[in-house]
Amino acid sequence: MKPLVAESFTSDPRIAQARRLVMEALADYQQAITGIRAADPERKASYAESLRQFAAMRGGALFYPYLGTGIGKGALVELADGSVKYDMISGIGVHYFGHSHPQLVEAGFNAALSDTVMEGNLQQDTDSVAFSRLLIDAARRHGGNLEHCFLTATGATANENALKMVLQKHAPAQRILAFEHCFAGRTLALAQITDKAAYRVGLPTILSVDYVPFFDAFTAAESTARSLRALREHLTRFPKQHAAMMLELVQGEGGYYAGQRDFFVAIMDELQKHQIAIVIDEIQTFGRTSEPFAFQHFGLDAYVDVVTVGKLTQACATLFTDAYKPQPNLVSQTFTSSTAAIFAGRVIIESLLSGGYFGAEGKIERLRKHLIDGLEGIGLRHPGWVAGPYGMGAMIAFTAFDGGAERTKNILHALYEAGVIAFVAGSVPARIRFLMPVGAITPADIERVCKILESTLSQFA
């Protein structure tokens, strides 16, 4: 068979040489990134002006004064003010392989050889096929029924597509169930589901949502009974009006609360009894538990109708069973994602599935234990400083002192100035959360982060 032009182009020795030179140059310059570094005083004024201009253009200031240069090394990232910081929030979960990971730089190089920057509804390359197959195979590895995968550029759109699929399937039912304190996104529809009134101030109500209490690990049996009671009250009050329930199995923005299998089974059995679709939002949990999907970690494969993934996958997706295959024209986008995101996503997922990340002794659990040990050590040395830790897998949060919102925000900004980037989760109490760059961080990095954290907390004790 005669080779395609693309095959000949990408195998050209000049391309191989260019790729090799890029990777060699990256390795050379990354040697200068060895640990946290303070900002360069000579860059202070110009950096502040760039931040001011950007805030004016976007209509509001950034949470952190963060403008990256485009290079980093593992969990470390260089900013345009000359500083280097530990990134322990990884873009709220996006930069799973840290910064300037050689495999992802190479993936970006390869993607740049492609003829299009974006892939979309009418024109997708073979890479989209391979990426979709990876996700479907991962979702079915324990016998799940997810047969289809629709790619998209954002997690919010993946959730929007999931909503449209289940609403169409169960029309005229139009109500949605969700857990209290959930986060689904900030689009017009998803802001209705996200249980935070501040996110929908001034927005019209376009979707009716009924909330069910989430699992409380301290009162497991009572918690399950309470949630079932609330669910049944909604179903009785609005008979046959619910199309689906959208579930986070670990609440992210809500405070890093993790559920339990028996709790989810009880809820899902009740939903199935009433023929209500089960939609699992795994935008944050995918790749961060003992299994690729959190629903697999909890052994819920047989229950799932639709699941959404994003963040670390780079290109996002809605996976669904054959029963929820949409009618023509329901889901469609000018572009489903960038070619670079699809290339990077393939590398990340392939690495996750073959790199020993999962299981009770996998890399995720080992790194989790290291961070937990560090946080608990601070708590033992300084009673009252750290409550928790909470969460599971690579999603870790703790309450600093009394968990007051303003105090927590001040701690986060002090931690940022000290060289560690984290973020908030929950509100009462407010917690400090870490989303480790699992594909790049080392135990030594975690130990340095914990030392910086302990020193920063001492300023607020």
Residue 270: predicted pLDDT: 98
Burial of 66 (0-12, 13-18, 19+ CB in 10 A): middle
Tens-place pLDDT, residues 297-351? 999 999 999 999 999 999 999 999 999 999 999 999 899 999 999 999 999 999 9
Residue 252: predicted pLDDT: 86
Residue 293: predicted pLDDT: 98
Residue 254: predicted pLDDT: 80
Q: Which residues of the chain have pLDDT under 50?
A: none
Tens-place pLDDT, residues 367-405? 999 999 999 999 999 999 999 999 999 999 999 999 999
| DSSP β-bridge partners for residue 246 | 178, 279
Are 125 and 119 a contacting pair, CB within 8 Å?
yes
Taking the C-alpha atoms of residue 383 and residue 376, their distance in angstroms, rounded to an integer, is 10
Taking the C-alpha atoms of residue 259 and residue 225, their distance in angstroms, rounded to an integer, is 14
Q: In the numeric block, which tokens belong to residue 227?
A: 């949630």
Q: Please give the single-letter amino acid code of residue 28.
A: D
| DSSP β-bridge partners for residue 175 | 242
Tens-place pLDDT, residues 377-387? 999 999 999 99
Are 283 and 272 a contacting pair, CB within 8 Å?
no
From first CA to last CA, the distance across the chain in angstroms is 71
Q: What backbone phi and psi angles, to 5 degrees, belong to 108?
A: -65, -40
Taking the C-alpha atoms of residue 176 and residue 27, their distance in angstroms, rounded to an integer, is 50
pTM over 0.85: yes
